[in-house]
Amino acid sequence: MNKLVHILCLFGATVLIGCSGQGQRPSTATEKLVTDDQLIVAALQRLEKGLAITPDSNQIPRAVEHDGSIRGVKSSDWTSGFFPGNLWLAYGYTNDPRYREQAEKWTAFIEKEKHNNRTHDMGFKVNCSFGQGYALTQNPHYKAVLIKSAETLMTRYNPKIGSLRSWDHNRDKWEFPVIIDNMLNLELLFLATRFTGDSSFYKVAHQHALTTMQHHFRSDYSTFHVVDYDPVTGKVKSKATHQGYADGSSWARGQAWALYGYTMAYRETGDKRFLELAENIGQFILNHKNLPADMVPYWDFDAPNIPDAPRDASAAAVIASAFYELSTYSAAHTARFKTAADQIMAALSSDAYLVPATASHPFILRHSTGNLPKNDEIDVPISYADYYYLEALLRKKNGFTGPLSAF
């Protein structure tokens, strides 16, 4: 009997944290009735519907449209690795071969991205799929794909700037844009050094983190989304946003990427400057006057229509997962960061944010915001919200045990 079925037999119908409204916290008494295993089971009950979807290289699940249909993407989309990653996470928890079989099929579609040098999103696409798969299976082919992907990502490095280029689009607007999201792709490079012994991957990742630390952050530890550099001189040309409210605002998912990225960078390097920055980013988030009571941020901390602005459950999930890891490093803030992660997960695990169990699609969380300035993916389920939510659940249950699958 696999773990998922065993838990369902033990507990019968899954007990979920009750919550009558999106902005309300569940009661302490109710929280005590719910175990970590029950929360994971509730999530996997929703994801399990993905086992019935026929894998299609052009329709990798990314989000749910407002009409209820699934938005599918090709492997080149930056989100393509998250749905396979979710299946791998489910396999790691349940040991159910159905999840492994489905994960292998979806993951195979992404392999060609190992040669795609037109994007910085190699970590999101390949590490969340092949990386999770390798962590659980030790498949040597997966390892080879990860190494080749890291080699391809390295071609986007400019030593004069000390950063990996993020986007190739909007060349009329930016010469060498670097976005805060790019911090998450560094984990693939650190992994490649462990696999190969070649320190060049590590050195590039470390320098990119140092450059981003120098130029992306304001004095209050909020982050710009996009910093554009002169590729010849290495000097900063502009600081702006692309998905936030304004150039000077604090886009919620950008803050989440920064928190997660520098927590991971400290783990991989031991550079205490990264730990200090991660701690300060965390304090900025928790102390912000516009952080809602349930700890699930509005899509931008400075959105003009707060409290009526859309929430971003994806940012909350990334923040929670990062806090679980950061709490193991931060002696000064261990309790605060761990408590904050628990509070965020209590909210996300409530009826206010969980997709109804009766939904036909394989998504777990609702109320995420993808790109509000482009009126795209607003208040919908999105695959990367589910990925970091599952990761956070596993970190909550097991404690932080290392990168990737946390098993």
**From the candidates 121, 300, 342, 386, which is the catalytic residue?**
121
Q: How many angstroms separate the CA atoms of 173 and 308, rounded?
A: 32
> Is 36 assigned a catalytic role?
no
Residue of 37, 77, 181, 386 with catalytic role: 181
SS3 string, 332-377, reads: CCHHHHHHHHHHHHHHHCECCCECCCCCCCCCCECCEEEEHHHCEE
Task: Provide the pLDDT for residue 404.
Answer: 65
329, 275 in Cβ contact below 8 A?
A: yes
Domain 3-398's class? mainly alpha
Q: Are 360 and 285 in contact (CB under 8 A)?
A: no
Candidates 35, 48, 147, 33; CA nearest to 94 is 48
Three-class DSSP category at 226? strand
List of residues 6+ apart from 59 with CB closer than 8 A: 70, 72, 73
How many other C-beta atoms can be found within 10 angstroms of the C-beta atom of residue 385?
30
Q: Which of 175-184, 189-198, 207-216, 394-403 has the lowest mean pLDDT?
A: 394-403
Are 298 and 311 in contact by the 8 Å Cβ rule? The answer is yes
> What are the sequence ranges of the domains in the chain?
3-398
Is a pLDDT exceeding 90 seen at residue 12? Answer: no
Give the Cα separation of 98 and 33 in Å (integer): 30
pLDDT score at 63: 98
pTM of the model: 0.93
Higher pLDDT, 27 or 185: 185
Cα first-last separation, the chain: 19
Coil/strand/helix, residue 222: coil
CA-based nearest residue to 389, from 142, 46, 110, 98 = 46
Amino acid at 203: K
Provide the residue type at 282 as one letter: G
64 three-state secondary structure: strand
Average pLDDT, the chain: 92
DSSP 400: -
Per-residue pLDDT tens over the stretch 118-142: 999 999 999 999 999 999 999 999 9
- As a whole-number percent, the residues of the chain with pLDDT over 70 amount to 91
Q: Confirm whether 56 is a catalytic residue.
A: no
CA 8, CA 14: separation in Å to the nearest integer?
A: 7
